[in-house]
Amino acid sequence: MLSLTGVSVAYDGVVAVDGVSLEVPDGSVLAVLGPSGCGKSTLLRAIAGLEPVRSGRITFDGDDVGRLPTHKRGFALMFQDGQLFGHMTVARNVGYALRLRRRPSNARVAELLALVGLEGYADRLPATLSGGERQRVALARALAVEPRLLLLDEPLSALDAGLRERLAVDLREILHAAGTTALMVTHDHEEAFQVADRLAVMRAGRVVQAGPIADVWAAPVDAETALFLGYARVLTGVAADTVRAAAGDARAGRVEALAVRRSALVADEHGPLLGTVRSARATPELLRLVVDVRDVGLVDAVADRDTHWGPGEDVRLRVDPTRTAPIRGI
């Protein structure tokens, strides 16, 4: 298990990673999720031994690895652009680390190419591959020596949207099939959800919330985290209480705010919230409404495409409680 305790990193006295503690249990994939510039790459580089740690401890299975040079940590790294050797074939790229360790093995290379779905690509050069194929080669190369920890820095960010989604699913399956313990940093919550089991949300150098993805998603620690996780709106005060009551929300206790997903509020003639349509916009599937609800203010809602809500009309809204999450604050 990788374990970090109070790890800080600074560049010329400016703190980039500020007292980060986290754990990656064996065989699990942790996504460190945060906006650009929050210190994700710096954290990853510190774990890899590429950046000196100002304070704190990095251990693996109880051993203090923080003082070891990069190549003695037993970790592998994979970056956004894969960084393949352009003059080497796919097979030679994948076998690179095996040759370095004087353990070349064509059978192992073939096994890795099969793992990432690239049988038959052994003799190709990187320049003849698509972006997604290149990332698969980079992944096979990183997994070649069975690292005890794989560190991934935005591994899918350079790919276009459709491919990114497919490769995210593949990445998850490949990591699980290989039993790899991994830490991936990303700014994209969808990518984190698709690939990882656990999440650490990072902001301004600090981890603000961590846990299994479902737990973090079900109860974001604050409004900023909720919005970063993909919630569309955060309602506070009376608005939060009113919408919770309308949803028949039985989750106990007062909340500081309520995170609301897109399409959580639906026009329904029996709905408990009464509002007035401010604007309506038809999409091919739905009618998107902005509704002024008393005591709540303006909210986004949806209606069937074949209804004809227009500005000024009264509308009742139903709340889907599974599309809201309480924010309890700290």
Binding site for ligand ADP (CB under 6 A): 11, 16, 34, 36-42
Q: What, of Mg ion, ligand ADP, none, does residue 132 touch, CB below 5 to 8 Å by kind?
A: none
What gap in Å lies between CA 291 and CA 302, rounded to an integer? 10
Residue 42 binding Mg ion, by CB under 5 A: no
For tokens 């705010």, the residue is 257
**Minimal CA–CA distance to 317: which of 328, 220, 297, 234?**
297
CB-wise, 37 or 297, nearer to ligand ADP? Answer: 37
What gap in Å lies between CA 243 and CA 6, rounded to an integer? 39
What gap in Å lies between CA 120 and CA 110, rounded to an integer? 9
Give the residue, chosen from 41, 180, 181, 324, that forms a contact with Mg ion under the rule CB under 5 A. 41
What gap in Å lies between CA 181 and CA 75, rounded to an integer? 10
**Minimal CA–CA distance to 84: which of 129, 147, 40?**
129
How far is residue 124 from each of residues 13, 95, 118, measured CA to CA in Å?
46, 14, 11
What gap in Å lies between CA 315 and CA 274, rounded to an integer? 6
In angstroms, how far is the first alpha carbon of the chain from the final one? 28
CB-wise, 182 or 258, nearer to ligand ADP? Answer: 182
Q: What, of ligand ADP, Mg ion, none, does residue 39 touch, CB below 5 to 8 Å by kind?
A: ligand ADP
Q: What, of Mg ion, ligand ADP, none, does residue 180 touch, CB below 5 to 8 Å by kind?
A: none
CB-wise, 46 or 327, nearer to ligand ADP? Answer: 46
CB-wise, 42 or 180, nearer to Mg ion? Answer: 42
Q: What, of ligand ADP, Mg ion, none, does residue 38 touch, CB below 5 to 8 Å by kind?
A: ligand ADP
Residue 225 binding Mg ion, by CB under 5 A: no
Q: What, of ligand ADP, Mg ion, none, does residue 155 touch, CB below 5 to 8 Å by kind?
A: none
CB-wise, 152 or 257, nearer to Mg ion? Answer: 152
User: Smallest distance, Å, CB 36 to ligand ADP?
Assistant: 4
Q: What, of ligand ADP, Mg ion, none, does residue 85 touch, CB below 5 to 8 Å by kind?
A: none
How far is residue 200 from each of residues 169, 181, 272, 323, measured CA to CA in Å?
20, 15, 37, 22
Give 57-73 as a 3 state SS string. EEEECCEECCCCCHHHC
User: Smallest distance, Å, CB 154 to ligand ADP?
Assistant: 8
How far is residue 239 from each of residues 29, 71, 259, measured CA to CA in Å?
37, 54, 11
CB-wise, 41 or 242, nearer to Mg ion? Answer: 41
CB-wise, 10 or 115, nearer to ligand ADP? Answer: 10
CB-wise, 17 or 325, nearer to ligand ADP? Answer: 17
What gap in Å lies between CA 156 and CA 126, rounded to an integer? 17
Q: What, of ligand ADP, Mg ion, none, does residue 42 touch, CB below 5 to 8 Å by kind?
A: ligand ADP
User: Smallest distance, Å, CB 41 to ligand ADP?
Assistant: 3
Residue nearest to Mg ion (CB): 41
User: Smallest distance, Å, CB 75 to ligand ADP?
Assistant: 17
Q: Is the CB of residue 248 less than 8 Å from the CB of residue 236?
A: no
327, containing H or E segment: strand 324-327
Residues near Mg ion (CB under 5 A): 41
